[in-house]
Amino acid sequence: MLLIAALGLAIVFGLMGVINLAHGELIMLGAYATFVVQNIFKPFGEPWFSFYIIVAIPIAFIVSALMGLIIERGAIRFLYGRPLETLLATWGVSLILRQLVRSVNWSLFMAIGIFALLFFGGMQLLKRLVDWQNIRSKALVILLPLAAGIAIAFNLLLGANPALSKPWFSARNVDVTAPTWLRGGTTALGFQTPYVRLFIIALTILCLIGVYWFLQRSTWGLKIRAVTQNRTMSSCLGIPTSKVDALTFALGSGLAGIAGCAVSLLGSVGPNTGQSYIVDTFMVVVVGGVGNLWGAVVAAMGIGILNYLIGSGTLALFLTSVNAPQSLIDLLLFFATSSMAKVVVFALIIVFLQIKPAGLFPQKGRTAEL
């Protein structure tokens, strides 16, 4: 789970240097997209319902990728090279997305559509009719409040209708039911392993292979790596750096959506679902080495296993069996909860970063010099 949640962040933070605090909310959007697809398939019954997850995965990817593209085009593209500003901007976006999920209804949805049509459509029309560069500032001062005012008035007008003002999701958590073929589990080496977990492992491996192939073997992957290493030279060689930035951010956001699809199979989904993963995913990327996918794999395995061994009390039981000092066993038993285990793991990560501040697999060459 840590790895599939961190894959998108490894691209956005590792390759682009953008501190995206809205990554957790992109995971949440993927989970809600899975919930919506499930509800669409429910009336059809079996066997169609069993295949909803196959449809939900690409839908979750597309929904989160589109939202990531909107975030990049609307805010991030003005803040490249300014990590503190990207942190504050994406934190604000995360708050907006959480509140949007709580409040969104048909009236709000249509009001947002009207705002987008008036604002962006108005800009495109002005670009065709007049010299946009000369009137840009004045046009934005007029267009923005005009489009927002009409959209707000439209929302208030439609909000009087109870059918249109009913929230789609509200603040309550919703449940995603696993397909029939993912229920139950199998026994291997004396351990009971749920099919859902095996499915998530397979999904993570496929995502990892796909991302590696895209970055290393495709033309756009080559362009992404070129822009990452030297943006100025890439631009001089004709690479459209703006399109590369948008594609990279959309790809990382789409992977967060797939992670949300996996998260929805493990428990209920709510507006704060993504907050449970955001800190852990940043730790995976930093410990593994910024921009290194294989480092993310090793870090995710290490952090996840260590969390389990300490939080479940397994490590304390093992030390008891080998007659370790009782004081050490008592200390581990004190931390044998999921929340306290995270405290220990974070403390160990802080110590580790004092020794290897660049992570397990630090960047080399031009990328490390930038």
Measured CA to CA in angstroms, residue 358 lies from 69, 136, 181, 255, 342 at distances of 29, 43, 43, 24, 21
Return the pLDDT at 56.
Answer: 93
Long-range contacts of 297-302 (CB under 8 A, 24+ apart): 297/3, 297/208, 298/360, 298/361, 299/6, 299/359, 299/360, 300/2, 300/3, 300/6, 301/3
Check whether residue 334 and residue 197 sit in a common domain.
no
Check whether residue 171 and residue 74 sit in a common domain.
yes
Q: Of 368 and 117, which is predicted with more confidence?
A: 117
Chain centroid to Cα 308, Å, comes to 23
Residue 179 DSSP symbol? P
User: What b/e string do you get for 274-313 counting C-beta neighbours within 10 Å, with b at 16 or more?
Assistant: bbbbbebbbbbbbbbbbbbbebbbbbbebbbebbebbbeb
Check whether residue 289 and residue 337 sit in a common domain.
yes
- Cα separation, 110 vs 98, whole angstroms: 19
pLDDT in tens, 80-121: 778 788 888 899 999 999 998 988 888 888 888 888 888 888
- Cα separation, 1 vs 131, whole angstroms: 51
Check whether residue 193 and residue 315 sit in a common domain.
no
337 is a domain residue: yes
Check whether residue 6 and residue 56 sit in a common domain.
yes
Check whether residue 42 and residue 176 sit in a common domain.
yes
Residue 365 above 60 pLDDT?
A: no
| Number of folded domains that form the chain | 2
Check whether residue 35 and residue 87 sit in a common domain.
yes
- Which single residue is written with the structure tokens 């004081």? 327
Residue ending a domain, among 223, 250, 270, is 270
pLDDT in tens, 43-76: 888 888 888 999 999 999 999 999 999 998 888 8
- Cα separation, 32 vs 267, whole angstroms: 12
Check whether residue 259 and residue 302 sit in a common domain.
no
Residue 370 above 60 pLDDT?
A: no
Return the pLDDT at 29.
Answer: 93
Residue 366 above 60 pLDDT?
A: no
Return the pLDDT at 316.
Answer: 82
Which whole number is the average pLDDT over 126-135? Answer: 79
370 is a domain residue: no
148 is a domain residue: no
Beta strand ranges found along 175-331 (DSSP E): 185-188, 191-194
90 is a domain residue: yes
Check whether residue 217 and residue 312 sit in a common domain.
no
Residue 125 above 70 pLDDT?
A: yes
Check whether residue 261 and residue 351 sit in a common domain.
no
Check whether residue 183 and residue 42 sit in a common domain.
yes
319 is a domain residue: yes
248 is a domain residue: yes
pLDDT in tens, 156-213: 888 788 888 888 887 888 888 888 888 888 887 677 888 898 999 999 999 999 998 9
Check whether residue 195 and residue 256 sit in a common domain.
yes
Domain range for 309 is 277-362
- Cα separation, 190 vs 177, whole angstroms: 27
Residue ending a domain, among 270, 293, 318, is 270
Angle (CA) 35 37 42, round 5°: 95
Token pair of 330 as six digits: 């008592």
pTM, two decimals, is: 0.87
18 is a domain residue: yes
258 is a domain residue: yes
Residue ending a domain, among 226, 253, 270, is 270
